[in-house]
Structure 1
Amino acid sequence: MQEFLEVTTFIGLSLYQWITLIIIAISAYFILHTLWRIAINKLSKVSAGTEHKFNNTIAEVLGSTQKITLALFALLIALQFLELPERWETRLSHLTFFVIGIQIALWISKSITIWSSVQLLEKEGQVPNPVITSMLSWILKVAIWSIVILAILSNVGVNITAFIASLGVGGVAVALAVQNILSDLFASLAIGLDKPFVIGDFVVFGEVAGSIERIGLKTTHIRSISGEQIVCSNTELLKNIIHNYKRMSQRRVEFKFGVTYDTPATTLAKIPDIVKSAIETSDRTRFDRAHLKGFGTSSLDFEVVYFVDSSDFNLYMDTQQAINLYMINEFKKLDVSFALPTTNLHIRSLESAKTQ
């Protein structure tokens, strides 16, 4: 029976060798799988309820190990116990390099994914920057997989120098074909680096006014005041002058009003002080100036400037309303009337016209 097992061959291995290979491979797989589960459980228990983020990260990375990878490792271990023909030794070496390279790439890719997820979580007092994080994550993953693939090709004997040169020529052609997409990608990178706005900022550009909801690799999503979502290309967005109201430390307010021409000069001199008192009734405002600016067609025009120490638009409107009501009450006490657009029509008698 043993002679039959030793004589019967398949691809250079006898049936006895195949049985030995299968038994060792299955045993090695169960051992590797058991050690893998023990390592993950041990790291998970250590990091549970604590701030051992490093251990937790290692556990997640190890958890991404593919079972087929463990099976291939078990097979490679079993093959080491057999005397293989020389051509199979070379193939085994290539297969070992391939399995190790792919698994390392998977581990690094998982680590990059975990890092990007952590970076995108909003921390206290900070706003996450999804653009830079997504771009770096994408670039790192492409670089890792490119290196691994090129290393595998080089290991099996492919001339990667010519291959890289051909990729360079093809890359130029692809870049020309997708130049609009690449333009948006670089625009998103510029947004991430320069940070003209972040998620949650209220911006105005052109005819668009709304809050930034999402900054993507190609487009930016804005929730407008009227409620609809506006999707704008990053390239087109950066071509506009952007007003970011979220970053205002204070709001400069300028308003004008007019009083009638029959207002006495002594009363006119009191109006700047009344306006100043109206502005200073709020502890969120700072008075700057109030002047009789000029003579209008039907009014004596005043110009007022003050500051609100907040970017909140509703606070500004409440403050302006309180100032207006205060002025109306005080002007009524002084018998001062706000000017309305009027036209005086002078009619001369017929006799007066004849004398001229």
Structure 2
Amino acid sequence: MDYTILGNTTADWLVALVTALAVAVGLDALKSILVRRLTILAARTETKLDDIAVAALRSTKFVVLAIVGIYAGASLLVLPDRVQLFIGRAAIVATLVQIAIWGDHALRTWLAATRAQSSSVDPDRITSSAAITFLVRVALWAIVALMVLDNLGVNITTLVASLGIGGIAIALAVQSILGDLFASLSIVLDKPFVVGDFIIVDKMLGTVEKIGLKTTRVRSLGGEQIVFSNNDLLKSRIQNLRRMESRRIVFGFGVSHLTPAPVLRELPEMIKEIVLAQPQVRFDRAHLNGIAAPTFNFEVVYYVDNTDYTVYMNVQQEIYLSLIAGLEARGVALALPVQTVHLARAVQGQGQGQGQAQPDATTWSETDARAA
């Protein structure tokens, strides 16, 4: 026990060795206990955070724990500065790498959980989630690599500056692609629409088929596929009809100007009864809103508590048919457009008027049939 090795007695070396083993084994045992407890907790809960924590802890490397144990044991010894510096840097590098491994496994677990959850609900979210995971993993390992180099004594200021200048140049070269990429991530996170939604963008409309990293594809009513750039799509005004809770319908019609005032006063109530007779409908109002010769114009507003377009058209059709029947029962005629045509006969002229059309003494007038 009196032997001296590198300035430390044999007893000091044994104490340092026991300390190193105790720290390494103790940390490994603590990891196993935490993993077992969190696994039991994860089985009882629906949240994915505990599953991510379990996956991260399971990725702990025993080599890293052994290096930390060696550092703890070496701190009890009197060693040359260069050896002490080497052991300290090795422990810091191992810890940084382990942190990166934890983050990497946590991101992979989150991506796997997102894929399992979105495969049937929102398939296109998987692609964007994978892109987010890839970017975060690259950033994580890049930061850890820079920290490791800085810990080893490498001057990373010039390297960071070079990466910054190169990053700016690359970003300028691919700014349109990056704009679409970040727009895709914005669509996935903010969810202005998802796959299956019926949207209207400017004058184009259709059902969303795929949300990609650069483009979004929409199937129009005509059958063709419309491809939007994600960046341009977010700059446009988007109407998402699938999220419509109810449909507001406004329609108007005109009746003959010969309709008596008492009958005109009865029509709003008749219209209300017709609208309320339809299923899933809420009546709002019906008014005589215009007197423009030769018609009296009515405006009707109601709501359909169903977003299906076919349901709306069936309701509107029944209202129209009932309205026509109600007007006929009261002897009220719908106002029809009026058109007047003047006919002239060509008369062969004499002298300077030869070949010119001269109006006949009789003027013919034809008017489209309009009920009196």
TM-score normalized by the length of structure 2 = 0.64
Q: Which of 269, 272, 278 matches 1:273?
A: 269
**Alignment equivalent of 1:107, drawn from 95, 102, 112:** 102
Distance 1:198 1:57 in 2: 26
Local SS of the residue matching 1:166: helix
SS at match of 1:302: strand
Contact preservation (8 Å) 1:258, 1:300: yes
Mapped partners of 1:174, 1:270: distance in 2: 73
Match of 2:312 in 1: 316
SS at 1:158 equivalent: coil
Partner residue, 2:299: 303
Give 1:19's aligned residue: none
Give the equivalent residue in structure 2 for 1:246.
242
Q: Secondary structure at the match of 2:334?
A: coil
- Greater shift in the superposed pair: 206-215 or 88-97: 88-97
SS in structure 2 at match of 1:182: helix
Contact 2:207 2:218 in 1 (8 A): yes
CA distance in 2: counterparts of 1:327 and 1:47, whole angstroms:
65
In the other structure, the counterpart of 1:51 is 45
- Deviation string 1:188-214 (CA, Å, 9 cap, x unpaired) is 455467654455543201343234455
TM-score, normalised relative to structure 1? 0.66
Answering whether residue 214 of structure 2 is matched by residue 218 of structure 1, we say yes
SS in 2 for 1:176: helix
- Once the two structures are TM-superposed, the CA of residue 291 in structure 1 deviates from its matched residue by 1.6
Contact 1:43 1:55 in 2 (8 A): no
C-alpha RMSD over aligned residues: 4.9
Spell out, residue by residue over 1:3-59, the C-alpha distance to the aligned partner (whole angstroms, 9 max, x if none).
xxxxxxxxxxxxxxxxxxxxxxxxxxxx99x97996698458624742286654333
Does structure 2 conserve the Cα–Cα contact (< 8 Å) formed by 1:203 and 1:245? yes
Which deviates further from its counterpart, 271-280 or 146-155?
271-280
> 1:162–1:266: structure 2 CA closer, same or farther, 3 Å change rule?
same
Using the alignment, how far apart are the partners of 2:190 and 2:162 within structure 1? Answer: 35
In the aligned structure 2, how far is the partner of 1:188 from the partner of 1:49?
Answer: 34
Distance change >3 Å, CA 46–CA 179, structure 1 → 2? same
Matching residue within 146, 153, 157 for 2:149: 153
Map 1:97-176 onto structure 2 (within 5 A).
97-115=92-110, 121=117, 137=133, 140-176=136-172
Alignment size in residue pairs = 317
The one-letter code sitting in structure 2 at the alignment partner of 1:285 is R
Matched residue of 2:54: which SS?
helix
Give structure 1 stretches of 5+ with no counterpart: 1-30, 123-127
CA 225–103 in structure 1, closer or farther in 2 if over 3 Å, else same:
farther
Quote the sequence identity (%): 36
| Structure-2 separation of matches of 1:171 and 1:340 | 69
Q: How far apart are residue 256 of structure 1 and its match? A: 2.3
Matched letter for residue 101 of structure 1: L
2:269 maps to 1:285: no
CA gap 1:43/1:182 in 2 versus in 1, 3 angstroms: same
Q: Deviations over 1:106-139 (max 9, x none)?
A: 21122134345557847xxxxx988997786556
- Cα distance change on mapping 1:86 and 1:161 into 2, 3 Å: same
Return the offset for 1:93: 6.4
Aligned 8 A contact 1:130 1:216 in 2: no
Give, in whole Å, the separation in 1 of the partners of 2:50 and 2:126. 25
Q: Any residues of structure 2 matched to 1:81-92 within 5 Å, and which?
A: none
| Amino acid in the other structure paired with 2:157 | T
Distance in 1 between the 2:63 and 2:190 partners?
A: 48
1:14 — aligned with what? none
Q: Write the letter of the residue equivalent to 2:177.
A: I
1:22 alignment partner in structure 2:
none
C-alpha deviation, 1:164, in angstroms:
0.8
Using the alignment, how far apart are the partners of 2:68 and 2:184 within structure 1? Answer: 46
Contact 2:257 2:293 in 1 (8 A): no
Deviation >6 Å, runs of 4+:
34-41, 71-78, 85-93, 128-136
CA distance in 1, matches of 2:174, 2:87: 41
Structure-2 change in CA distance of 1:231 and 1:338 (3 Å): same
Cα separation, partners in 2 of 1:90 and 1:320, compared to 1, 3 Å: same
CA distance in 1, matches of 2:181, 2:30: 40
Partner AA of 2:52 in structure 1: T
Letter in 1 for 2:321: L
Take 1:316 and 1:77, find their aligned partners in 2: how far apart are those partners? 73
Q: What's the counterpart of residue 121 of structure 2?
A: none
